C-alpha cells in the first residue's frame, strides 16, 4: 500500500521546493508518484517528471475550491499511484483556500509557510496550519533572526504543539526533522477508510456557482451582511 | 551549560568530487575570530550553513557538527530562540515595515527574558559599527546596507544573546570591521567571517582556506603577519577615506 504525503500552503511558498528535497531523500529506497491540484495552471508535473523520472499528474479545479477538488480525487489518485507501482504519493495542493484544509487521516500533512509572508501570516491561515502534522517555514535565509523568532511564536499561537521545521528549502538546510517524519510514515492499511481531518467549512453561496452580482440581497445559501456576523440563509 | 563553555566542533566530510576531507577538526570557542577564505564556489557558504544547521552528515558536504564533543541538543537545532548561533548574510533583511525601535521591541517581546532597555543599547551598539547613524525612529526599510548589517549584528549579540555569529560577506556593506571584531572579542563572542577582504582575513586569529568544497588549510598566522597587517590596515584606511570622499561628491584631483 501507498504512503501519502499531503503538502499544502499558500502560492509560491516553496511547496514544490520542499517536495524536491523529499524526493531526493527517499528516491534511493522508494518510488514516488506526484499529484498537483491547482486552479488553472501548473507546471510541476512536467518539471518533476523530467527531473526525477517519476510518474506525475496534474488536475485543474477550475471553478471548484481546489481543496474540495483534491478531496474528490485523492482516492482515485491513491489507486493510480498503486498502479504505477509507487510506494509514496505526494499530493501538492494549490493552497489558495485559507478555510479548507486538504489533510486526510493516515497521511503526513505538511503545511509550507514562507517567512517572507510577514510575521502575521500564520495567524491568517490558522486552519491550514492547525490540522497539519508539520509546519515547514521556508526562506529563512532571507529574513532577520527577530522575524524568524516572531514567526515561530505566531505559529505556536495558532497551534501550540506544532512540529515546526525552519528551512532554506533551496539548499535543503534544516529539513532533517521533516525527513525523519517522512521515514516514519506508515502506509495506508489495506481496506483502511481514509477520511478528511476535521470538518470542512460549509461555504456554498451563489457566488460559488458563478453569480457575479454584488450585495447579499442578490444571493442565497450562506450569506453575510456587514452589520452582523451570523450566517443567514435566505432561501429563494 | 553556559555560553562561556560552548565549543562547536566541525568534523570533516567530503569534497565536491566526493573525496574525504583531509582536515582533522575545527574547534570554535568563545572569543574566537575565524575567517573563511577561498575562491568563489569553493564552499565557504556551505561550511557556515553546516554550522548553522548543526549538520549531521545530512548536507551536501557530509560534515558533522558537535557541541561540547557531543550531538547537539535538539532545542539548539530546532528552536531559533535557543539556538546559540546567529547568521547574517547579504540577503538577510527585515521585511516588516517597522521603525528600528518597533523592530527591536518586537524581538524583545518574543524573547521573554529580555529587558526592554536592551533595544536602546542595541541601537547604540549598531552606531559603533557604522558611520551613518541609526536612529530609533528610522524605518527599517530605509536603512542602508551597512546600517542594516550593523543593527542585525547588534540585535544578534544583545537581544538574541547568540554566542556565535556567522557573517557571510558583509564587508561590502560599509561597516567598521575592526570595531566589530574588537567588540565581539571583548564580549567573548565567537565570530566566523566568510570573506574576500584581506583586512578582515588578517584581523582574524585563524584562517580557514577552502577549495573545491574542501577545507584545505587552517592557518594560525599569529605574529608572522604583523607587518602585512599594518600595511593592509593602512591600505584599508586609505580606501575607506577615499570611499567617503567619493561618496560625499568630491573629485579626487589631488594626489591621494
Ligand atoms: N531563498 C529561498 N527561496 C526559496 C525557498 N523555498 C522556495 N524558494 C523559491 O521560491 C519560489 C517558489 O517556490 P515553489 O517551490 O515553486 O513554490 P510552490 O509553493 O510550490 O508554488 P505554487 O505551487 O506555484 O503555489 C522558487 O523560486 C523557489 O526557488 C527558500 O527556502 N529560500
Ligand atoms: N563539500 C561539498 N560537496 C558538495 N557540494 C558542495 C561542497 N561544498 C560546497 N558545495 C556546493 O558548491 C556550491 C558553491 O558553494 P558555496 O556557495 O558554499 O561557495 P562560496 O565559497 O560561498 O562561493 P562565493 O564566494 O561565490 O559565495 C554550492 O551549490 C554548494 O552546495
Ligand atoms: Mg508548486
Ligand atoms: Mg558564498
Ligand atoms: Zn475551500
b/e map of B31-70 (b: 16 or more CB within 10 Å)? ebbbbbbbeeebbbbbbbbbbbbbbbebbbbbbbbbbeee
Please name the residue whose Cα sits nearest to atom 28 of ligand 1: A14
Task: Give the pLDDT of residue B59.
Answer: 87
**Which ligand 1 atom sits closest to the C-alpha of A138?**
31
Residue B174, pLDDT score: 72
CATH number of the structural domain spanning residue B186: 3.40.50.300
d(CA B29, CA B16): 28
Q: Which one has a higher pLDDT value, A234 or A167?
A: A167
- The string of pLDDT tens digits covering residues B118-168 is 999 999 999 999 988 999 999 998 998 889 999 999 999 999 888 999 999
State the pLDDT at residue A236: 40
Question: What distance in angstroms lies between residue B168's CA and the mean position of ligand 4's atoms?
Answer: 7
- State whether B49 and B74 are in the same domain: yes
pLDDT on residue B3: 57
| B185 and B255 inside one domain | no
Element (H, E) at A112: strand A107-114
List residues of A whose CB lies inside 8 A of any B CB: 116, 118-119, 141-150, 152-153, 164-166, 168, 171-174, 176-177, 179
Of residues B81, B91, B94, nearest to A149 (C-beta): B81
Query: B78 vs A177: CB contact, 8 Å cut-off?
Result: yes
The count of domains in chain B is 2
If asked whether residues A153 and A207 sit together in one domain, one would say no
Which candidate, B122, B114, B184, places its Cα nearest to that of B147? B122
Tell me if B8 sits within 8 A of B51, measured CB to CB. Answer: yes
Asked whether the beta carbons of residue A143 and residue B93 sit closer than 8 angstroms, the reply is yes
A-B contacts at Cβ under 8 angstroms: 79
Q: What is the CATH classification number for the domain harbouring A180?
A: 3.40.50.300
Q: Note the ligand closest to the C-alpha atom of A148.
A: 1
Grid cell of A118 as nine digits: 510577514
Whether residues B126 and B228 fall in one domain? no
Q: Compute the distance from residue A117 Cα to the ligand 1 centre, in Å.
A: 12
Of the candidates A116, A142, A174, the beta carbon closest to that of B53 is on A174
Which of chain B's residues have a Cβ under 8 Å away from the Cβ of A177?
Answer: 78
Beta strands in A14-80 (DSSP E): 32-38, 56-60
What helix, strand, coil percent values describe chain A, rounded to 5? 35, 20, 45
Nearest-angstrom CA–CA distance, A17 and A172: 9
Q: Give Cβ neighbours of residue B153 (< 8 Å, ≥ 6 apart).
A: B88, B126, B129, B165, B167, B175, B180
Residues of the domain holding B141: 3-220
> Which pLDDT tens digits describe chain B residue by residue (256 residues)?
455 679 999 999 999 999 999 999 999 999 999 999 999 999 999 999 999 999 999 888 999 999 999 999 988 888 877 889 999 988 888 888 889 999 999 888 888 777 879 999 999 999 999 988 999 999 998 998 889 999 999 999 999 888 999 999 887 667 888 899 999 999 999 999 999 999 999 999 999 999 999 999 999 998 899 999 999 999 988 888 888 788 789 898 876 6
User: Would A61 be classed as within a structural domain?
Assistant: yes
Ion ligand 5 neighbours (CB, 5 A) are: A 65, 67, 97, 100
* Shared-domain flag, residues B132 and B172: yes
pLDDT at A177: 92
**Residue B54: closest C-alpha in chain A:** A174
Give the pLDDT band of residue A144 (cuts 50, 70, 90). confident
- Cα–Cα distances in angstroms (integers) from residue A163 to residues A5, A111, A169, in the given order: 15, 10, 17
pLDDT in tens, A180-225: 999 999 999 888 888 888 766 656 667 777 778 888 788 877 777 7
Short-list A62, A63, A45, CA closest to A54: A45
Question: Does some domain include residue A194?
Answer: no
Q: Is the pLDDT of residue A109 over 90?
A: yes
Amino acid at each position: 500500500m501507498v504512503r501519502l504525503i499531503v503538502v499544502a500552503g499558500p502560492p509560491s511558498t516553496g511547496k514544490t521546493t520542499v517536495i524536491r528535497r523529499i524526493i531526493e531523500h527517499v528516491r534511493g529506497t522508494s518510488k514516488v508518484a506526484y499529484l498537483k491540484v491547482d486552479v488553472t495552471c501548473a507546471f510541476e508535473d512536467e518539471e518533476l517528471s523530467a527531473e526525477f523520472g517519476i510518474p506525475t499528474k496534474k488536475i485543474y479545479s477550475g471553478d471548484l475550491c481546489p481543496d474540495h477538488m483534491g478531496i474528490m480525487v485523492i482516492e482515485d489518485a491513491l489507486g493510480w499511484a498503486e498502479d504505477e507501482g509507487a510506494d509514496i504519493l505526494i499530493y501538492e495542493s494549490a493552497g489558495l483556500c485559507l478555510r479548507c484544509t486538504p489533510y486526510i487521516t493516515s497521511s503526513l500533512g505538511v503545511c509550507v509557510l514562507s517567512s517572507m509572508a510577514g510575521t502575521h501570516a500564520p495567524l491568517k491561515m490558522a486552519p491550514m496550519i492547525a490540522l497539519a502534522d508539520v509546519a515547514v517555514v521556508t526562506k529563512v535565509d532571507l529574513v532577520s533572526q527577530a522575524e524568524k523568532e516572531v514567526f515561530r511564536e505566531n505559529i505556536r499561537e495558532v497551534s501550540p504543539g506544532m512540529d515546526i521545521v525552519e528551512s532554506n528549502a533551496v539548499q535543503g538546510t534544516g529539513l532533517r526533522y521533516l525527513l525523519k517524519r517522512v521515514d516514519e510514515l506508515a502506509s495506508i492499511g489495506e481496506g483502511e477508510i481514509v477520511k478528511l481531518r476535521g470538518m470542512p467549512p460549509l461555504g456554498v453561496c451563489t457566488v460559488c456557482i458563478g453569480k457575479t452580482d454584488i450585495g447579499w440581497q442578490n444571493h442565497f445559501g450562506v450569506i453575510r451582511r456587514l452589520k452582523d456576523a451570523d450566517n443567514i440563509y435566505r432561501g429563494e | 551549560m553556559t555560553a562561556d563553555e560552548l565549543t562547536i566542533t566541525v568534523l570533516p566530510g567530503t569534497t565536491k568530487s566526493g573525496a574525504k576531507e583531509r582536515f582533522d577538526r575545527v574547534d570554535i570557542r568563545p572569543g574566537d575570530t575565524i575567517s573563511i577564505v577561498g575562491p568563489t564556489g569553493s564552499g565557504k557558504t556551505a561550511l557556515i550553513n553546516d554550522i548553522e544547521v548543526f549538520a549531521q552528515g545530512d548536507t551536501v558536504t557530509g560534515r558533522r557538527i558537535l557541541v561540547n564533543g557531543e550531538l547537539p541538543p535538539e532545542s539548539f537545532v530546532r528552536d531559533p530562540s535557543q539556538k546559540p548561533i546567529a547568521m547574517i548574510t547579504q540577503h538577510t533583511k527585515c521585511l516588516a515595515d517597522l521603525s528600528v525601535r518597533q523592530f527591536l521591541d518586537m524581538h524583545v517581546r518574543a524573547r521573554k527574558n529580555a529587558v526592554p532597555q536592551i533595544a536602546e543599547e542595541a541601537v547604540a551598539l549598531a552606531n559603533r559599527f557604522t558611520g551613518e547613524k541609526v536612529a530609533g525612529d528610522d524605518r527599517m526599510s530605509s536603512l542602508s546596507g551597512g546600517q542594516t548589517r550593523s543593527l542585525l549584528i547588534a540585535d544578534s549579540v544583545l537581544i538574541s544573546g547568540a554566542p556565535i555569529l556567522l557573517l557571510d560577506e558583509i564587508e561590502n556593506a560599509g561597516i567598521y570591521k575592526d570595531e566589530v571584531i574588537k567588540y565581539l572579542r571583548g564580549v567573548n563572542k565567537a565570530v566566523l567571517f566568510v570573506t574576500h577582504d584581506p583586512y578582515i582575513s588578517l584581523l582574524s586569529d585563524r584562517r580557514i582556506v577552502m577549495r573545491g568544497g574542501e577545507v584545505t588549510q587552517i592557518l594560525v598566522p599569529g605574529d608572522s603577519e604583523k607587518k602585512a597587517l599594518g600595511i593592509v590596515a593602512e591600505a584599508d584606511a586609505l580606501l575607506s577615506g577615499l570611499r567617503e570622499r567619493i561618496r560625499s561628491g568630491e573629485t579626487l584631483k589631488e594626489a591621494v
